[in-house]
Amino acid sequence: MQRLGIYGFGAAAHILIQVALHQGKQVYAFTRDGDLESQAFAIRLGAIWAGGSSESPAERLDAAIIFAPAGDLVPKALKDVDKGASVVCGGIHMSDIPAFTYELLWEERIIRSVANLTRKDGHEFLGLAAQIPVKVATRLFPLHEANEALTMLWKNIWKTAGRIS
């Protein structure tokens, strides 16, 4: 069984965990320190552990994906993964990755991004999502609350990007 770390447990992560569990992986969810709501959500979805991004799991991970746009999570994830593991930067944007010692890449660890997905990748994912079936968490707003919905969406985007607290 593989141990997968997900750093930044939000919109994409709540879908990924369903796929990972379907494939028999153990999921470790990392959130902003103190974000107990997101940690509880990850546990409800099947994560075997959830904690702040400054914490470390009890055992080394076999792979990690970083959805949070925080470059400082790259060396942290490299510390958390085992020999030969991959750390994938899965966001559209990310702050600069700080310098780190070569020792973190030692033992064939890999850093990669997912910037080049293809139409075929999308079709394959949708086929898999239908087999599982993947369920998404949503919140409905009546039309007269459209401005509130847009405000919440905008604040969530900027909060996720680390620009507001």
> What pLDDT does residue 117 have?
77
pLDDT in tens, 96-132: 999 999 999 989 999 999 877 789 988 998 999 899 9
Q: Is the pLDDT of residue 158 over 60?
A: no
**Confidence at residue 162, expressed as pLDDT on a 0 to 100 scale:** 47
Q: Could you tell me which of 94, 45, 84, 48 has the C-alpha nearest to residue 64?
A: 84
- Pair of tokens at residue 118: 């293809």
Sign of torsion over alpha carbons 23, 114, 15, 29: positive
Quick one: fold of 3-132?
A: Rossmann fold (3.40.50)
Provide the pLDDT for residue 78: 97
DSSP tag of 46 = T
- Determine which of 38-52, 72-86, 112-126 has the lowest per-residue pLDDT on average: 112-126
* Domain locations in the chain as residue ranges: 3-132
Tokens 């959500």 found at: 41
Q: Tell me, what's the pLDDT at 159? A: 54
Average pLDDT, the chain: 89
Torsion of CA 90, 91, 96, 99, to 10 degrees: -10
